[in-house]
Chain A
Amino acid sequence: MSVSAKPVMRTDAHMADPDGFYEAWVAAHEGLSDEESNDLDARLVLLLANQVGDAEVLRACIAEAREPGLRRT
């Protein structure tokens, strides 16, 4: 059992309404050009990052998002 004072990146199911979030996220992109969509996602990342706050968790999230296995080929 690990005892850590600092929060780590959560990968368990934590979202209250996953399908609802997916729907809302997709809906937010409706009618936007690729450029506008990309801008929206960037703003979304920033807003969510501020909800998280913890620098270590944010770094872990960035690393995981950049995981080579997750990148399109």
Chain B
Amino acid sequence: MRECYAEAPPRYNGGMSAETWKFAPAYELPQWPFVAPPDLGAGERIRYPVVIAGGGLAGLTLACDLALRGVRAVVLDEDDTVGVKGASSRGICYAQKSLEIFDRLGIYERIRAKGITWSVGRTFSGNDEVYTFNLQDDSASEQPPFINLQQFYLEWFLVDRIRELDASDLRWKSRVTRVENDADAVVVEVETPAGRYALEAEWFIDATGANSRIRDAMGLEVNPSRSTDRWCITDVRFKTPFPTQRWTWVDAPFNEGRAVWQHLMADDVWRLDYQMAEDCDLEAISRPEVAGERLRAQLGADVEFEFVWIGPYQYRDHLLETFRVGRMLFIGDSAHVVSPFGARGGNNGIQDAANLGWKLALVLAGEAGDELLDSYHAERHPAAVENLTVCRRTARFLAPRSRAEHRIRRAVCALAKRHEFARRLANTGRMAQANAYPPSAWAKGGARSVQNVAFDGTTLMRCLAGGTRFLGLAFDADAATLVRLDELAALFPIDFRRVDAAGPLAGQLGAAAGTVVVVRPDAYVAASLADATPEAVAEAMRDALGRDERSRLEAAA
């Protein structure tokens, strides 16, 4: 879409009025130089604990997470900058769980300062409002429900942070050409401007995105499904102040009765996303004068604007059957792709990384057996299935396939204008949340995320930020109990804290005096133990680390 950045010539609008369609200059994105690695010219292959292919959201989040855990990852990225080529942004909405992760990684303040904080979403049908939600109502976190920001800024901040920590090996202009998944290492062949080399990875992470050639070369099935629904993104910059809310139209009168999305991003850029007819000509609908007229129909003749980007798209989804194959793990779009409704794409790549980071660190430190990495699949695959289901339902609501489906949706919208119950059926996206994980060997009661609650002059994320330790929250524990609990800190990676059973955390966690809540390094609750004994806490830790499983396997061998 690079041609979009050129100044478009003036064109006549229906022969009635002439309007010049202005384009903003392209974003100037940072570039990082290729530096020849020690592997080039080395006599034999160098072995690394973790190698990540792909420097997008998921890969960079994992590298940054690992850096803070003292694991130096090699990141191989075929480009030397951030973002998709050109100035478009793929992801724009970052959910609370992602923001909490970024708080722990140390880039939240930059994101907050640059991005647009929002919590209110409004849904319209025709000229009427049918549904409003305020995600702040359910929030107890230090981070807001959502911040909108162009994806390349986020990747940029992550790269800056990784470089500042100086604890990862970012290798630009380095393309993975071949991967061999052996029993004791993954052999990775890399192509660079200075020649080819091969390295060995104890653990290899594919974060190369939806079109992963690494995944495809292994013959792994993702069961893709392509929608016939078509949309056209029009990113525009204008000074007219709009409310910082997510506005969606199910059937906008100014878009021939089809859906429209309106979202603010940083730098006064608005993303206007228009649903198009399924049989439309993608080239025709993305011409500046056609896009401009759509915009005029929505905003009127007086609003001054310039285009930032115009891009038509179709969405698709896919799901990899297993997220771990031997020493290889798949994160982000390489493992799962969903339709864009509800911000469940990038946010789940970030959560994949946060789920995997601490597990890799503990396995590499010998605190847990490598079976713990199976829990990455056991938790993130069901999360992906849930996201896929949720997004498919939204897509179906937004693109009815028959007259009957249109009728059903009309009934929902008509009743939603008058009745609370019907508003619950109007589905313009169920916004990304931290998925709860099903019961597993590692979390017998399943695991759910805890928000970043402030308490006792600190926050949950600050407590989890140092190293890779679990957090044992001992509610109203007496001194003697704390002494006995602290003895566990020598046996397991866990630190305990006495917390007030009348405080904000107790409410969030449903904890009473005597309860110990075991919080994992990714801020998921591994166990909540009423009237907890140190023995019960030790058992919960053995489960969470898979140590029982390990001794069982050792006994069998």
Contact = CB atoms under 8 A, between A and B. Distances in A.
A33 to B, nearest CB: 13
B414 A43 contact: yes
A42 B410 contact: yes
Interface string A13-54: 000000000000000000000000011001101110010000
B408 A42 contact: yes
A4 B422 CA distance: 29
Interface in B101-125: none
A39 B411 contact: yes
Interface string B402-418: 00000110111011000
Contacts, number: 21
A17 to B, nearest CB: 24
B325 interface: no
B421 interface: yes
B26 interface: no
B407 A46 contact: no
A50 B408 CA distance: 15
B417 to A, nearest CB: 11
Given A46-B422, A46-B425, A50-B421, A38 B412 contact: no
Interface in B414-436: 414-415, 421-422, 425
A43 B421 contact: no
A58 to B, nearest CB: 12
B421 A42 contact: no
Question: Which of B407, B411, B415 has the most chain A CB atoms inside 10 A of its CB?
Answer: B411
A54 B412 CA distance: 18
Contacts of A43: 411, 414-415
Interface in A50-69: 50
A25 to B, nearest CB: 16
Contacts of A38: 407
A66 to B, nearest CB: 12
Nearest to A40: B411
Interface of A: 38-39, 42-43, 45-47, 50
Interface of B: 407-408, 410-412, 414-415, 421-422, 425
21 contacts: A38-B407, A39-B407, A39-B410, A39-B411, A39-B414, A42-B407, A42-B408, A42-B410, A42-B411, A43-B411, A43-B414, A43-B415, A45-B411, A46-B411, A46-B412, A46-B415, A46-B422, A46-B425, A47-B415, A50-B421, A50-B422
Given A46-B411, A46-B412, A46-B425, 16 more contacts: A38-B407, A39-B407, A39-B410, A39-B411, A42-B407, A42-B408, A42-B410, A42-B411, A43-B411, A43-B414, A43-B415, A45-B411, A46-B422, A47-B415, A50-B421, A50-B422
